[in-house]
Structure 1
Amino acid sequence: MSAVTASRTKRTPAGSRSADVTRLLPKPLLVVILVVLMVFVLVPVVYILFASVNSDIAVANGAFLPTEFTLANYSKIWTTVALGRGLANSVVVAGSVAVVCAFLAVATAYVLVRFQFRGRLTFLRALLALQSIPGTLLLLPVFVLFSSAASYTGVQIIGTRWGLFITYLTFALPFSTWVMVTYLRGLPRELEEAARIDGASSWRILTRIVVPLSWPGIVVSGIFAFLLGWNDVLFSSIMTNPESRTAAVALQVFGATQEGGALPVYGQMMAAALVCAVPVVVLYLIFQRYLVGGLTAGGVK
């Protein structure tokens, strides 16, 4: 009996069995689907790249390939629209939201996962319920709340970068906390119990054990918070002024100012779009290995 089992094990190695389980489609069909998806993704990106080095007249005429190669669009965007100031505001606001949100989320998730107290399940359910509320419905309440706070306290909130920071932190923190709750549930309790036996406090356990082991989840929650602040147009267009507007609003204003012109500067718009996309691409390339581990953590128990 053992010989038969051993022979069957040799005939079906673990690698082939795992490949058969994970492969849901035949390999030729999988290759075709991947190629089609890559075409759908890459063709718009290639068109934007070609248009950014093409003349405005050629882009307006619908030319796909550049008729003349020029980098003048990349030098003109800094004077046509205040893109540099918008990029600086976006980096400051979105970056600070990402850092603060990630570390608040890991601390909150640690309390929710490792401690039992009244209202814990209600708080977890509330985190999920908050994700179902569209941000459009909260735009007017947030604006009225900040306006009322400014009239009562005399501190201006609307039109400042820190007011935008508070707004983005409010919307990013529930999702980031739930990501960290899912991640911390997969961490072994034995390490924390051993540290507690040695006399470590909860704060020391959090900073010396939980945080170093939770970097993939922290990076995921931070990047999602960064993207919320970087891509948002709705709140930043209402709660900012020309001095504090972000890159997304600068692009929106750039496009709106060209609608009534005789010749829209499509080349500059494409160049500005690529410049605004560079920080996000660089962020993904730097933290790619953390993203894979953080997104898949907690998926298999």
Structure 2
Amino acid sequence: MTEILVRPPLLGRKPTGRLNADVTRLLPKPLLVTIVVILLLAVLVPLLYIVLASVNSDVSVASGAFFPTELHLDNYLKVWTTVDLRNGLINSVIVSGSVAIICAALAVSSAYVLVRFAFRGRLTVLRTLVGLQSIPGTLMLLPVFVLFASLASALGIQIIGTRWALFITYITFALPFSTWVMVTYLRGLPRELEEAARIDGASSWRILTRIIVPLSWPGIVVSAIFAFLLGWNDVLFASVMTDRTSRTAAVALQVFGATQEGGAIPLYGQMMAASLICALPVVVLYLVFQRYLVGGLTAGGVK
């Protein structure tokens, strides 16, 4: 009788690179490369056009020229006097930055309570956080405006036309999403670290500040950046809740574009230059916190 020896599989052995690539690849390589190239062109070509138009003459841009015949770098200098861009950028940085910081701090503390403590109504709060994301912000414009106007008349405090109106509005809309991001992230943190700290006599506040926050930086950065972008890119609420002194950079660009409508050739070069200047802080923000963004966005995806 012939014995058949069956070799047991090697535990922990990883598949070869060829097999792993074939398993994980969803599309054939030529099709995948084609799709990636098309997506890159769809993003980079408009961006390249904006960059070239910002250093081109207004007549050349109006005639449809893609490449500038001569460089007009002075568009980046003229825009500061043509548009109230300095005041808009200062207001945007103050409002969006404060919303991001406060929202991230409230989100991590709220998520810690929702994840680590059991109490009545906990699931209702979690479901409400998800449900609030389905409400369009456009529908809330009139109720928020009426609420602020009523509070101003009742308390005698000016709210509409100030930065406080934008701050309260943005933090109200950004906090549910930021809290849900932190809930998803904190669920992946091991409880053993907190249990060991409690055995050593650490309080909940000490555990939150000394253990949870240092381990949650990717999630905190993600929630803060999303809150920052909400305030930075908003035009609808900022155009209604602000006046000339408190308008943000997005509203300043909108006003600048509206003033260029007419019979004369618009200042295309300065419009493109102003757009790039307003987009630069967001690009720098992504580049600085890129490694935190990757870890924070993928947290909770694998259990």
Q: Shorter-chain TM-score: what band?
A: over 0.9
Give unmatched runs, 5+ long, in structure 2: none
Q: CA deviation at 1:261?
A: 4.5
- Look up the match of 1:269: 271
> Given the alignment, which residue of 5, 16, 22 partners 2:9?
5
Aligned residues: 299
- Match for 2:52 among 46, 50, 53? 50
Structure 1 position 133 matched with structure 2 position 135: yes
Distance of aligned partners of 1:209 and 1:16 in 2 relative to their CA distance in 1, 3 Å threshold: farther
Instruction: State which of 204, 207, 212 in structure 2 corresponds to 1:210.
Output: 212
Following superposition of structure 1 onto structure 2, how do residues 79-228 of structure 1 map, counting pairs within 5 Å? 79-228=81-230
Q: Give matches, 1:223-242, under 5 Å.
A: 223-242=225-244
The percent identity for this pair of structures is 77
Question: In the alignment, what sits opposite 1:256?
Answer: 258
Deviations 1:62-119 (A, max 9, x none): 1111021111111111111100110111011001100110110000000000000011
Aligned to 1:59: 61
**In 2, distance between residues paired with 1:69 and 1:143?**
45
Q: 1:16 to 1:196 in 2, by over 3 A?
A: farther
Residue identity matched to 1:5 = P
1:19 positional shift? 2.4
Deviation at 1:33, TM superposition (A): 1.0
Gaps of 5+ in 1: none
Residue 302 of structure 2 is matched in structure 1 by 300
Deviations 1:139-194 (A, max 9, x none): 00000000000001111111111221111000000000000000000000000011
Q: Which residue of 2 aligns with 1:23?
A: 25
1:27, CA displacement in angstroms? 1.7
Q: Distance in 2 between matches of 1:79 and 1:2?
A: 81
- Structure 1 pair 55/238, CA: closer, same or farther in 2 (3 Å)? same
1:66-85 superposed matches below 5 A: 66-85=68-87
> Counterparts of 2:254 and 2:246 in 1: how far apart (Å)?
14
2:20, 2:227 → 1: CA distance? 35
Judging by fraction of residues, say which structure has more helix: 1
Distance 1:74 1:145 in 2: 40
The whole-number CA distance in structure 1 between the counterparts of 2:40 and 2:99 is 32
Q: Secondary structure at the match of 1:181?
A: helix
Give the TM-score of the pair, scaled to structure 2. 0.96
What amino acid is aligned across from residue 109 of structure 1 in structure 2?
Answer: A
In the other structure, the counterpart of 1:287 is 289
TM-score by length of 1: 0.96
Which of structure 1's runs of 4+ aligned residues deviate more than 4 A?
Answer: none
Label 1:31 to 1:119 Cα distance change in 2 as closer, same or farther (>3 A): same
One-letter amino acid of the counterpart of residue 242, structure 2: T
CA distance in 1, matches of 2:128, 2:12: 49
Determine the C-alpha separation between the residues in 1 that align with 2:218 and 2:299: 9
Post-superposition Cα deviations, 1:169-225, rounded to whole Å, max 9, x if no partner, equal 000000000000000000000000110111000000000000000000000000000
Task: Please give the alpha-carbon distance, in whole angstroms, between the structure 1 residues aligned to 2:189 and 2:76.
Answer: 47
Cα distance in 2 for partners of 1:184, 1:26 equals: 37
